[in-house]
Every structure is written in structure tokens, then in C-alpha cells.
């Protein structure tokens, strides 16, 4: 069995070389944690994963250069990033003609199937009539214009670059496309996040859907062509994060699209919320069954598939049951919750950190943080654990608590990337980077894989001098070096405290 191979009998989820690269980059406490998760950064993340597509940034040259230097996906560098390179004068008087000529130049140079024009804040503010270039450019390819007006902070996923670019792609490419037949047994999967080898990551979900008598119309958005996107209306329903975005409302109104939400209202009502763990996948399959009126078949597939995964999990339970955990968590449970509720492990110490260096944590107000603490406490008590709870402790306070409670295994949050710090202090630690795709894999075998990684961590010797311990760790953002911690604080000050 290879180093990257997990021991699942049916869905042998092995880490590919590309996955190891992602895992390595994800573990580095550098700029990826300090990048804003929206606007051009998120928009280019999706855009650069599409087939035969060229991104044209309409704004000052620094906007494009910054994204090349600091892509949200550090393992996926952006090599071609044409830019209109607005000058100060053009920022005042407008640059419509310059944008028009840039589109023509981009087509002549790259011959793409799609030119995706992404505006910067500067272009938004000067009010160039960007939509008009779609007609006036007269290039023999599709042109989609993605304006990023506004910096709403109420919902990261629906108000930032990820959703904004999906809105532009779907509404503009499909505005003149009529429905060409509906397949009542077909479903779109629109929850991909641009990791390498998304096909492998969604292999179990594909199998579950096929076993229910359905088939997948398309996976979105990763490695899609223009025709792939135009084929979305053929499906009867789509699996989405949220069904309240402009692009979902567009498909529902024009084509009668139905939706299965991964995160329905009320959101984040408990640590067991979401399509994770055995129970979460059960709920997801039953939700799909209700939409397609095949609830009986969905229940049958859920019971059979869960039983197979539970039998595989049972092989590892003797090594895990009763072991104590130090859980470093945030607003979701994830694989740490699976180890408690399905593997019989006990949480002795719970450390909650809401500042991970991303923009998600910055949106939590104090009431939301208190509610998260209560949800974790209720969850632990429900599963026979009564941990000591620390909220936003200093590293010194956390270390004292670890020495006091002496957990058999520390389970750090996936976003912190600081497993090396716990190992250096003498505590065996689950390496979250090996489970970096947990929240983006849907299926029963994620629980088995989490158990395998916990067992792997318990059985291997502790590393006293990890290479990453040579870097200076930031006191506030434990997943960042001090330099990038300062950058995160600058972003936080500008976007969340001053604006």
C-alpha cells in the first residue's frame, strides 16, 4: 500500500501527486491565508479552471499582477493574465475604447473559446459601460463581462467573487439559449472548488447518485467548456451550496430548475449541520430522493452504502475508541466531530479559534461566536465528552491547557495549518492536510478516511523538530508567519473595521 493510499475497501481514496502538492502548499503558513477571499481573487480562481478561457482584467496593472503573485490557489499559478492597464487619466475619464481594443487583441493572440472580462474596483467606480463591449467587440468567440461592484460582507460565498463570476457565466452564456429537452433523471453537481482531480474527489457521490437510478449531467465549475455550461438546463435539478443566488434564481425562472441545497436554512444550527458524516450524507441522499420522487430507492442506497462504510470503519475502532482528543476547532465540526460521534473518541480539550487568516472568521460577531461555543458544548455532552473549553487563547495558554489535559491526539482545524507546532510541543497530531478535501468530498467514506488518519497519527512517532518549526509563528493567527499575520491584520483593518 502506497504512502498516499487510504485503506477504504470500496472507494480507495488515494492522494495523487497533485494532491500532495496541494497538501504541501496548504500547510505553509504564507500568503494564501492572508488573501482576501473575494473580488478578483475568487473570480480568477474559477475563471482559470475553465477550458480554453482567457481572463482579461479591466483595471490598473497592479490588479492583475497581484493575482499572479498571490493566487488563492497557491498550487495553481496564473501565467497569462492580460490587463487593460488603466492609467490615472483613464481612471478619471474612462477607458471604454481601450477595453474594446484589448478584447480584440486578446482574441488575436490567444484564439480562445471564451474571453472573461473581470473588472477591478477602479473600473467599477468610473462606470465604464462594460456590457456594451459584448456586442461591439465583434470577435468570433463568447465574451462574458463580470463586474464586481460592491463589497457586501454579509455572506462570503454568495456575495463575493465565487458567486459573482458564476452569475456572469450562467446568465450571459444562457441568456439566448432555449431549453433543448429536459432529462428527468439527470442532475448537475455545481459544488466543485477547483482542486486537482475533482473527478476522483466526487467519485463516491457519482456512484451513490448512479445507484439511485440517476445520472450526472455535468460537474461545475471545473474544466468546463462553453458548451458544458450551456448544457446545464438539460438537468432536472442541481446540487448547490445555496439556492438563493442570482444564477440559481435565473435557472429556476427560465428553465424550471430544481435545487438540492448542501446548506439549507436554518444554517449552522448545530455542529452536526451539513452533509458531513454518516448522518449528513443520509440526509443529503434523502433530499435528492424527495426532489426526484425516488425516496424509497434513496433510502435503500443510503442504508446499503452506510453499512458498507461502517463495516470498514469497524476495523479501526479498537485502536481509536476511548482515546482522548484535543480539538482545535472553529464554526464547523468536520472530521474532528466524526472522530467523536462515530469513533468513540473523547474530547478532553476544545480550543476554539475564529481568526484563521481567512475572511470567513472575520464575519462572525460576538453573538455568533458565543452560539458556536454553545453548539460545541452541546455536541460534546451529547457524545459523552465534557471538555475544558478555551476561546481564542494565546499560544502560551493553549500549551498550558494541553499539558494539563494530556490528550492522546491533537486534531487541529484544517485552516490553521499548524500541526507542526503541536508535534514540536510533544503531542501526537493528526495532519489535517491529508484530509484537505474533507469538506469538498461528499460520501460515507470520508468518515473512514478520517479514522484512518487518526490511527496513523496515533501509531507513528512524534516529530520533535518539524521543518516548519523553523518559521516564526504569529501569535494571533497560528496558521501564519508573523509577516503574513501582519498582512492579515491590515486586510482586516481595511475591510472589516474601517470600511
pLDDT computed for residue 13 by the predictor: 47
CATH class of 183-306: alpha beta
Alpha-carbon span 88 to 486, nearest angstrom: 29
Instruction: Please determine, looking at this structure, whether the domain spanning 17-173 carries the CATH number 3.40.800.10.
Output: no
Question: Which is more confidently placed, 334 or 162?
Answer: 334
CATH class of 316-486: alpha beta
pLDDT computed for residue 244 by the predictor: 86
pTM above 0.75, yes or no: yes
What band does 402 get if pLDDT is binned at 50, 70 and 90? very high
CB neighbour list of residue 47: distance below 8 Å, 6 or more residues apart = 53, 55, 116, 118, 165
In contact, 14 and 6? CB cutoff 8 Å: yes
Alpha-carbon span 333 to 351, nearest angstrom: 12
Alpha-carbon span 77 to 313, nearest angstrom: 38
N- to C-terminal Cα separation, the chain? 53
pLDDT computed for residue 38 by the predictor: 55
Residue 6 above 50 pLDDT? no
Range with lowest mean pLDDT among 284-293, 306-315, 329-338: 329-338
Alpha-carbon span 7 to 452, nearest angstrom: 7
Same fold yes or no, 17-173 and 316-486: yes
pLDDT computed for residue 80 by the predictor: 75
346-367 mean pLDDT:
74
CA angle, residues 204, 208, 209, in degrees to nearest 5:
115
Going by C-alpha positions, the residue among 117, 114, 143, 140 that lies closest to residue 53 is 114
Question: Which is more confidently placed, 281 or 148?
Answer: 281
Ordered by start, the domain boundaries in the chain are: 17-173, 183-306, 316-486
Alpha-carbon span 404 to 397, nearest angstrom: 11
pLDDT tens for each residue of 72-107: 666 666 767 898 988 888 877 778 889 999 999 999
**Grid cell digits, residue 162:** 465565487
Going by C-alpha positions, the residue among 421, 397, 415 that lies closest to residue 335 is 415
Give the highest mean pLDDT range of 123-127, 226-230, 429-433.
226-230
Going by C-alpha positions, the residue among 290, 182, 191 that lies closest to residue 235 is 182
153-176 mean pLDDT:
74
pLDDT computed for residue 247 by the predictor: 92
Question: What is the edge-to-edge ordering of all strands in the sheet holding 183-189?
Answer: 215-219, 183-189, 235-240, 258-261
Alpha-carbon span 493 to 420, nearest angstrom: 29
pLDDT tens for each residue of 418-446: 788 898 899 999 987 777 666 668 899 99
Residue 1 above 50 pLDDT? no
In contact, 376 and 350? CB cutoff 8 Å: yes
What band does 498 get if pLDDT is binned at 50, 70 and 90? low
In contact, 414 and 355? CB cutoff 8 Å: no
152-169 mean pLDDT:
65
**Grid cell digits, residue 165:** 463570476
301-327 mean pLDDT:
97
Amino acid at each position: 500500500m502506497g504512502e498516499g493510499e487510504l485503506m477504504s475497501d470500496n472507494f480507495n481514496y488515494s492522494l495523487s501527486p497533485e494532491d500532495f502538492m496541494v497538501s504541501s502548499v496548504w500547510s505553509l503558513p504564507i500568503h494564501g491565508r492572508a488573501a482576501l477571499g473575494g473580488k478578483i481573487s475568487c473570480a480568477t480562481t474559477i475563471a482559470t479552471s475553465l477550458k480554453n478561457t482567457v481572463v482579461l482584467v479591466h483595471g490598473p496593472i497592479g490588479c492583475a499582477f497581484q493575482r499572479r503573485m498571490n493566487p488563492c490557489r497557491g498550487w495553481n499559478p496564473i501565467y497569462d493574465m492580460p490587463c487593460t492597464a488603466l492609467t490615472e487619466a483613464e481612471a478619471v475619464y474612462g477607458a471604454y475604447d481601450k477595453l474594446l481594443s484589448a478584447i480584440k487583441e486578446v482574441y488575436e493572440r490567444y484564439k480562445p473559446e471564451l474571453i472573461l472580462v473581470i473588472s477591478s474596483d477602479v473600473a467599477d467606480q468610473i462606470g465604464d459601460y462594460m456590457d456594451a463591449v459584448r456586442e461591439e467587440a465583434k470577435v468570433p468567440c463568447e465574451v462574458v463581462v463580470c463586474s464586481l461592484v460592491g463589497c457586501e460582507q454579509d455572506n462570503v460565498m454568495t456575495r463575493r467573487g465565487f458567486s459573482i463570476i458564476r452569475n456572469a457565466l450562467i446568465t450571459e452564456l444562457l441568456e439566448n439559449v432555449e431549453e433543448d429537452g429536459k432529462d428527468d433523471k439527470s442532475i448537475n453537481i455545481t459544488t466543485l472548488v477547483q482542486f486537482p482531480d475533482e473527478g476522483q474527489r466526487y467519485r463516491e457521490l457519482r456512484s451513490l447518485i448512479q445507484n439511485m437510478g440517476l445520472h450526472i449531467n455535468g460537474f461545475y465549475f471545473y474544466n468546463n467548456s462553453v458548451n458544458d455550461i450551456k448544457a446545464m438546463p438539460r438537468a432536472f435539478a442541481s446540487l448547490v451550496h445555496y439556492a438563493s443566488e442570482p444564477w440559481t434564481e435565473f435557472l429556476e425562472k427560465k428553465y424550471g430548475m430544481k435545487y438540492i441545497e448542501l446548506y439549507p436554512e436554518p444554517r449552522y444550527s448545530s455542529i452536526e449541520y451539513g452533509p458531513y458524516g454518516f448522518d449528513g450524507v443520509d440526509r443529503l441522499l434523502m433530499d435528492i430522493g424527495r426532489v426526484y420522487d425516488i425516496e424509497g430507492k434513496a433510502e435503500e442506497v443510503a442504508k446499503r452504502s452506510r453499512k458498507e462504510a461502517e463495516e470498514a470503519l469497524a476495523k479501526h475502532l479498537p485502536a481509536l475508541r476511548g482515546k482522548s482528543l484535543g480539538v482545535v476547532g472553529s464554526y464547523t465540526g468536520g472530521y474532528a466531530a466524526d472522530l467523536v460521534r462515530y469513533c468513540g473518541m473523547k474530547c478532553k480539550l476544545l480550543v476554539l479559534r475564529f481568526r484563521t487568516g481567512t475572511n470567513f472568521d472575520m464575519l462572525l460577531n460576538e453573538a455568533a461566536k458565543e452560539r458556536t461555543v454553545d453548539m460545541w458544548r452541546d455536541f460534546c455532552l451529547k457524545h459523552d465528552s465534557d471538555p475544558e473549553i478555551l476561546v481564542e487563547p494565546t499560544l502560551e495558554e493553549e500549551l498550558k491547557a494541553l499539558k494539563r489535559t494530556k490528550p492522546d491526539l491533537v486534531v487541529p482545524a484544517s485552516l490553521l495549518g499548524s500541526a507542526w507546532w503541536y508535534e514540536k510541543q510533544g503531542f501526537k497530531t493528526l495532519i489535517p492536510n491529508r484530509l484537505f478535501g474533507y469538506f469538498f468530498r461528499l460520501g460515507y467514506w470520508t468518515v473512514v478516511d478520517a479514522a484512518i488518519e487518526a490511527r496513523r497519527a496515533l501509531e507513528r512517532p512524534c516529530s520533535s523538530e518539524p521543518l516548519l518549526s523553523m518559521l516564526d509563528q504569529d501569535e494571533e493567527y497560528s496558521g501564519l508567519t508573523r509577516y503574513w499575520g501582519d498582512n492579515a491584520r491590515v486586510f482586516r483593518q481595511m475591510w472589516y473595521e474601517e470600511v
